[in-house]
């Protein structure tokens, strides 16, 4: 279950909406937890929003190293393009993205539904509009910055398959977002390493 104050309820409400929307259609690239219930409660006179989702597993999880990211990005576009609110001024060619595609959110588990061996993709609270290929670039960044070498190599190969324009636009997109993060947050070291990677010539 996830909760959030109603005043900051956009993130849990957004994630619940994304899960609900994805359940309406096909999403063959990965598994996405099923939304079970959602609602509002009052805590000490303050409204909160909440939702409950399918439990992945209590068994061992591991980062999913080899995932066809172009197929994943296609599924996100197909599921959310007609649903996700598009802020004014968003470039016409931008697409819906997961927004936090990291090794710890793209997980393989020993649990499976029948013979389904696809990894789970969780934590959709950062879903937004971004440049095509932005999720692929972010998975490479987060894997490399966390020293998950096999994942970084696999994602890097797919980054190089993007057009030079998409790579450069995604680099600038993430540089602005990561630079704005608090240096005191719990992922500060990872964020600093990601910025260092984005500043390398190879990032473009």
pLDDT tens across 175-190, in order?
A: 999 999 866 566 788 9
pLDDT of amino acid 114: 56
pLDDT of amino acid 186: 64
Q: Is the pLDDT of residue 200 over 80?
A: no
pTM: 0.90
Tokens of 200: 């390398």
- Find the mean pLDDT for residues 143-153: 94
Tokens of 22: 């994805």
Short-list 82, 64, 1, 81, CA closest to 36: 1
- Find the mean pLDDT for residues 19-38: 95
CB-CB contact of 12 with 125 (8 Å): yes
CB-CB contact of 116 with 31 (8 Å): yes
Residue 177: Cβ-neighbour burial (10 angstroms; 0-12, 13-18, 19+): middle
Tokens of 178: 């990561």
3-state class (DSSP) for residue 28: coil
- Name 198's bridge partners: none
CA separation, residue 77 to residues 64, 81, 86 (Å): 21, 5, 13
pLDDT of amino acid 89: 97
**Average of per-residue pLDDT values in the chain:** 89
């Amino acid at each position: 279950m996830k909760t959030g104050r109603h005043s900051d309820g956009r993130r849990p409400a957004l994630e619940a909406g994304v899960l609900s929307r994805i359940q309406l259609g096909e999403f063959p690239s990965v598994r996405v937890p099923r939304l079970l219930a959602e609602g509002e409660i009052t805590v000490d006179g303050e409204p909160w929003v909440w939702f409950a989702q399918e439990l992945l597993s209590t068994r061992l999880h591991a980062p999913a190293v080899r995932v066809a990211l172009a197929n994943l990005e296609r599924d996100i576009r197909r599921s959310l393009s007609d649903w996700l609110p598009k802020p004014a001024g968003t470039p016409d060619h931008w697409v819906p993205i997961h927004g936090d595609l990291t090794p710890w959110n793209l997980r393989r588990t020993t649990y499976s539904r029948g013979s389904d061996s696809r990894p789970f993709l969780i934590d959709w609270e950062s879903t937004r509009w971004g440049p095509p290929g932005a999720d692929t670039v972010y998975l490479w960044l987060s894997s490399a910055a966390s020293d998950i070498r096999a994942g970084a190599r696999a994602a890097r190969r797919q980054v190089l398959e993007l057009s030079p324009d998409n790579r450069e636009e995604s680099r600038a997109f993430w540089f602005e977002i990561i630079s704005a993060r608090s240096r005191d947050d719990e992922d500060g070291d990872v964020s600093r390493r990601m910025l260092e990677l984005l500043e390398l010539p190879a990032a473009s």
